[in-house]
């Protein structure tokens, strides 16, 4: 289920700024934003053939991105994490993982970041004018505010 | 915040100059550029968002050359309720009510996914009986959900009778689930620590009465729809999702297994009572709509088999661990998955040690199946669209969240 740290380090040896650790979440490889596409390409070549989840979290200082990869052949799962500044741009990984197409759009609109290299980078769930709802400083309306609309 | 918002909202997320899809990756026939990105004289048809065959509020934009689909775009979001954001404002024992409203046809599995995630952050040992009750509730709910799929999939092909039979069986199941949890659909039954109540008197007998006829009825239903040459003619060989495409699009559940990939969370990452149950994982081979039909029908037989084992072997004991009235899990980050009716439902949960989740991400299998439709549909006829959507068994409530 969890890959060995040494195996992941070996796979990502050519990419600078990578750290791999065992966490409660699982085996996590932390990669600098600029190297995420290269890291994911290397991991795909190493057998992680499916991206089964992608999401982002507003940490209060930046947005943390989490890619969840799975190798069915090896029965392994790996998390790849990176960070992006508010309003920053992330490179789409759809070319290696087409399953990222919609999750990337969703993460971009709900956390207020931009997509580069995405073939169809429109909003997915909300319409123009809606704030990035998953940012911590975007508050949900109270009952009174909803009634007063 | 305001500057970033203005930039985000003013410019929009569609970045000019980034719309060149380039060469499609191996395994994809076309780059998913979106219908409106193409320059063409073909006819563009809007299907939905209020179309009865889209199984929810789904809008398909299809570009056709005569009756043949050239490109398709899936437009979603009409049922977005901000479940992930709302979860940040709920106590842990109340998030289940949100999960019920995600995949509202099989809410038990959503509740279970969240409970499993929360329990990883809590110092709690879930009693064995609670595990069994969770599996029982999940399998009953899976049957109820698959029956909705069976009935409506038949409607998509023009058949009617099977829908009435499926709803009859489903009603019996909803009665059982109501007796078990107090609710027919919005259960809030599985909570961190266990389940909300023990099995009431009489439920076991109700389940036995249901099972006494279900296998026989299921054979008849399979014959009624699957044995129909018109149905076969409309689903065989269409909407093929082979292994490569299934993995590329992150498909899970029956859609993945129909392509021959032997992966079921209940076997691969056992949870609840599944390690103690005897069941098989049905597989397909080609991954077409017919394979997906057969896999789901076989899954119903396996669910009935598991339910019989669960009521026969239900252990004695507590139905829940002792958990505080206000749950404050340890700070940390975890991920939990369950095999829901439509595939892998995952919860990525981050706690800061307070009574509300800091972040809850809800991974629904329908999102991944829906985006694969953009790849599957081109090359098919307009008449195939509803069959292909029906065969993937997507749930828009869970997709939009």
Helix axes B203-225, B128-156, angle to 10 degrees: 30
How many Å lie between the alpha carbon of B114 and the closest alpha carbon of chain A? 15
CB–CB contact B85 A131 (8 Å) = no
pLDDT > 90: what percent of chain A? 70
pTM of the model: 0.87
Structure tokens at B88: 């940040």
CB–CB contact A1 B269 (8 Å) = yes
CB–CB contact A72 B22 (8 Å) = no
CB–CB contact A120 B33 (8 Å) = yes
- Contact list, B76 vs chain A (CB under 8 Å): 102, 124-125
Q: Give the number of other Cβ atoms within 10 Å of residue B89's Cβ.
A: 12
Is the pLDDT score of A148 beyond 60?
A: yes
- The DSSP symbol for A45 reads H
Element (H, E) at A120: none
| B17 — pLDDT class (breaks 50, 70, 90) | very low
**Mean pLDDT of the A95-116 span:** 92
Which among B389, B368, B395 is positioned nearest to B377, based on CA atoms? B389
How many Å lie between the alpha carbon of B278 and the closest alpha carbon of chain A? 22
Residue B17 CB partners (closer than 8 Å, separation 6+): none
Whichever domain contains A141, its CATH number is 3.30.460.80
Structure tokens at B386: 């509803």
Q: What pLDDT shows up at residue B339?
A: 95
Structure tokens at A147: 């009634």
Residue A50, SS3? Answer: strand
Structural domain boundaries of chain B?
Answer: 83-366
Residue A111, SS3? Answer: helix
Between B123 and A98, residue with greater pLDDT: A98
Is the pLDDT score of B2 beyond 50?
A: no
SS in 3 state form for chain B?
CHHHHHHHHHHCCCCCCCCCCCCCCCCCCCCCCCHHHCCCCCEEEEECCCCHHHCCCCEEEEEEECCEEEEEEEECCCCCCCHHHHHCCCCHHHHHHHHHCCCCCCHHHHHHHHHHHHHHHCCCCCCHHHHHHHHHHHHHHHHHHHHHHHHHHHHHCCCCHHHHHHHHHHHHHHHHHHHHHCCCCCCCCEECCEECCCCCCCHHHHHHHHHHHHHHHHHHHHHHHCCCHHHHHHHCCCCCCCHHHHHHCCCCCHHHHCCCCCCCHHHHCCCCCHHHCCCCCCCCCCCCHHHHHHHHHHHHHHHHHHHHHHHHCCCCCCCECCCCCCCCCCCEEEEEEEEECCEEEEEEEEECCCCCCCEEEEECHHHHHHHHHHHHCCCCEHHHHHHHHHHHCCCHHHHHC
How many Å lie between the alpha carbon of B107 and the closest alpha carbon of chain A? 20
B103-127 burial by CB neighbour count: b if 16+ within 10 A, else e?
Answer: bbbbbbbbbbbbbbbbbbbbebebb
Is the pLDDT score of A132 beyond 70?
A: yes
- Contact list, A131 vs chain B (CB under 8 Å): 5, 9
Cis before B137 (ω within 30): no
Minimum mean pLDDT among A96-100, B35-39, B153-157, B344-348: which range? B35-39
Q: What pLDDT shows up at residue B61?
A: 86
Between B9 and B163, residue with greater pLDDT: B163
CATH number for B83-366: choose from 3.40.50.300, 3.40.1160.10, 1.10.645.10, 3.90.1640.30.
1.10.645.10
Looking up tokens 């979440």, which residue turns up?
A: A25
Is the pLDDT score of B394 beyond 50?
A: yes
Structure tokens at A129: 């004018």
Q: What pLDDT shows up at residue B5?
A: 33
Give the separation between CA B319 and CA B203, rounded to whole angstroms. Answer: 15
- Residue ranges making up the domain that contains A143: 5-147
**Mean pLDDT of the B350-378 span:** 92
Element (H, E) at A64: strand A63-71
| B123 — pLDDT class (breaks 50, 70, 90) | confident
pLDDT > 90: what percent of chain B? 62
CB–CB contact B85 A134 (8 Å) = yes
CB–CB contact B335 A131 (8 Å) = no
Mean per-residue pLDDT over chain B, rounded: 87
Select the residue from B20, B84, B247 to test the A interface by mutation, using most A Cβ atoms within 10 A.
B247
pLDDT > 70: what percent of chain B? 89
Q: What pLDDT shows up at residue B6?
A: 37
For B37-81, how does the pLDDT look when each residue is reduced to its tens digit (9 = 90+)? 555 567 788 887 776 666 678 888 888 887 888 888 888 988 899
Question: How many domains, in total, are found in chain A?
Answer: 1
Between A28 and B3, residue with greater pLDDT: A28
């Amino acid at each position: 289920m969890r890959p060995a740290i040494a195996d992941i380090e070996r796979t990502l040896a050519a990419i600078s700024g990578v750290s791999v650790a065992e966490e409660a979440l699982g085996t996590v490889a932390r990669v600098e934003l600029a190297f995420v596409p290269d890291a994911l390409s290397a991991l795909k070549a190493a057998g992680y053939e499916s991206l089964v989840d992608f999401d982002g979290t507003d940490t209060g200082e930046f947005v943390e991105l989490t890619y969840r990869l799975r190798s069915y052949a090896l029965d392994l799962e790996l998390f790849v994490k990176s960070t992006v500044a508010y309003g920053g741009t992330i490179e789409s990984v759809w070319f290696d993982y087409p399953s990222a197409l919609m999750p990337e759009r969703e993460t971009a609109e709900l956390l207020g970041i931009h997509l580069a290299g995405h073939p169809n980078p429109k909003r997915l769930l909300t319409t123009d004018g809606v704030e990035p709802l998953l940012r911590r400083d975007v508050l949900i309306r109270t009952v009174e505010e909803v009634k007063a609309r | 915040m305001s500057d970033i918002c203005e930039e985000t909202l003013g410019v929009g997320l569609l970045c000019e100059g980034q719309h060149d899809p380039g060469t499609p990756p191996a395994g994809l026939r076309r780059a998913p550029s979106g219908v409106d990105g193409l320059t063409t004289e073909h006819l563009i048809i809007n299907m939905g968002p209020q179309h009865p065959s889209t199984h929810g509020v789904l809008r398909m934009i299809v570009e056709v050359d005569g009756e043949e689909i050239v490109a398709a775009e899936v437009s979603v979001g009409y049922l977005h309720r901000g479940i992930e954001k709302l979860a940040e404002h709920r106590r842990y024992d109340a998030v289940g009510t949100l999960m019920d409203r995600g995949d509202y046809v099989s809410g038990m599995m959503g509740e279970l996914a969240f409970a499993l995630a929360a329990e990883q952050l809590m110092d709690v040992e879930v009693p064995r009986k609670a595990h069994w009750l969770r599996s029982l509730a999940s399998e009953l709910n899976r049957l109820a959900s698959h029956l909705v799929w069976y009935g409506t999939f038949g409607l998509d092909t023009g058949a009617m009778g099977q829908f009435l039979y499926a709803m009859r069986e489903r009603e019996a199941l909803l009665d059982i689930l109501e007796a078990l949890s107090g609710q027919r659909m919005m259960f809030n039954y599985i909570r961190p620590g266990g389940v909300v109540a023990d099995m009431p008197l009489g439920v076991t007998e109700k389940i036995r009465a249901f099972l006494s006829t279900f296998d026989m009825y299921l054979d008849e239903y399979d014959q009624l729809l699957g044995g129909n040459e018109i149905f076969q003619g409309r689903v065989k060989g269409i909407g093929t999702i082979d292994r490569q495409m299934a993995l590329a699009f992150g498909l899970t559940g029956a859609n993945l297994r129909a392509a021959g990939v032997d992966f079921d969370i209940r076997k691969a990452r056992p949870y609840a009572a599944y390690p103690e149950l005897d069941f098989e994982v049905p597989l397909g081979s080609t991954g077409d709509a017919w394979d997906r039909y057969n896999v789901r029908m076989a899954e119903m037989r396996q669910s009935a088999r598991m339910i019989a084992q669960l009521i026969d072997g239900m252990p004695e004991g507590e139905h829940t661990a002792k958990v505080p009235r206000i749950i404050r899990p340890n700070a940390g980050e975890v991920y939990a998955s369950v095999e829901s009716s439509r595939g892998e439902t995952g919860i990525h949960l981050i706690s800061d040690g307070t009574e509300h989740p800091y972040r809850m991400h809800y991974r629904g299998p329908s999102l991944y199946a829906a985006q694969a439709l953009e790849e599957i549909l081109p090359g098919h006829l307009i008449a195939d669209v509803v069959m292909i959507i029906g065969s993937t068994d997507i749930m828009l409530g869970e997709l939009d969240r």
